[in-house]
Amino acid sequence: MSKKIIVFIIFFIAFFIDRLSKFIVSDTAFIPDGLSMGNNFISIVKVYNAGAAFGILQGWKSFLLLFSVVVMIALIIYVFKNCKKLTMGSAAGIGLILGGTLGNFYDRIVYGYVIDFLKPEFINFPVFNMADIFINLGVALIFIIMLYQSK
């Protein structure tokens, strides 16, 4: 299967999962605020984040939108120019980053903020969402592949 197809399949799956999770969490008929899961391992708490990761850059919506667009365009260009050099893992990583970036971009365009809802209870850590998980997994996957290939 073409690595471009892998990128875009994972991209659409990640975006769909992010949108679905935010829809479910936003609809209080499905999940109430403050739902604890796994013996207080993680809670679902709706937070509307007008900034970036960890709540930084509050009020910088235009910058964050532009940054998201630049990242998505750069990654898509990279995929088309370097498709033959991509590994399946790096294609998956790029797809995860694209899906997560589009998920948070969508929130900023439609709502003016990002919907976060996953709050770890075992550590003092900011609330995050599935898009954030996908972005971080994608970056980690690409980083691990780069380390592995450099040896």
Token pair for residue 108?
Answer: 């900023």
Q: Is 86 exposed, middle or buried (0-12, 13-18, 19+ CB in 10 A)?
A: buried
Q: Give the active site residue among 27, 33, 107, 116.
A: 116
CA contacts within 13 A on the Cβ side of 91? 19
Q: Which residue has the tokens 């998980």?
A: 133
Annotation says 33 is catalytic: no
Q: Give the active site residue among 18, 33, 107, 132.
A: 132
CA contacts within 13 A on the Cβ side of 85? 7
Active site positions, annotated: 116, 132
